[in-house]
Amino acid sequence: MRYITFALAKGRLAKKTLGILEKIGITCEEMKDPDTRKLIFVNEDLKLKFFLAKASDVPTYVEYGAADFGVVGKDTILEEGRKMYEVLDLGMAKCRMCVAGPAKAKALLNSGEVIRVATKYPNIAKDYFYNKKHQTVEIVKLNGSIELAPIVGLSEVIVDIVETGSTLRENGLEVLEEICPLSARMVVNEVSMKMEQERIMKIINDLKIELDKMDDAEKN
């Protein structure tokens, strides 16, 4: 029996994912050691391997078959545009992808004017403005502190992830348009789904049952 490999986005999402996997009997004790320097973690009994990767790299590992499963945010899936199956919404790390800026910029979004948009997510921004709004924009790619761009005059608006909106408000900005809701998703390599369908579908179905239980518990 070959190993089934999971690529998990580093950070809080990986910890939450491992917590859910434990509930369906998938564990990896090696990953609980805070001092470990290992890159690959193995559960020999279940023939499973795990590794942590930068979120933007997870879809690449999955598309090319280096990992059978991946867990990553929907924002990364949309931005990277890799070929793979998106099989589950894990309901974690919920937030929104939004267009934001000063209140006065709202009029520019419907004016037909060419405006400048700063973002970490150029592909998502292009798709939204070109294909959904049919508005020509200039995309400015930034890697951090996106909120700064409209404040210093680099752009009229930004496209970014919004959780509570408190950072926007503190800087005199607001959500102008919502592009899409976001959350953590489970993805599967297309070839793996065919070659290891029984094992992969069991994991997916077990997770679905557990997620439904968690939803019911929250409602009650």
SS3 assignment, position 9: strand
CB 122 within 8 A of CB 146: no
Tell me, what's the pLDDT at 113?
85
Please give the single-letter amino acid code of residue 199.
Answer: R
For domain 4-93+183-219, the CATH class is alpha beta
Quick check: 39 pLDDT over 90?
no
Mean pLDDT of 43-49: 93
What confidence tier does 134 reach under pLDDT thresholds 50, 70, 90? Answer: very high
Tell me, what's the pLDDT at 93?
87
4-93+183-219 matches 95-180 in fold: yes
Mean pLDDT of 3-17: 92
| CATH number belonging to domain 95-180 | 3.40.190.10
Sorted by where each begins, the domain ranges of the chain are 4-93+183-219, 95-180
User: Rounded to an integer, what distance in angstroms lies between the CA atom of residue 102 and that of residue 168?
Assistant: 9
Quick check: 220 pLDDT over 70?
no
Mean pLDDT of 160-187: 95
Q: Which residues is 181 bridged to in the sheet?
A: 96
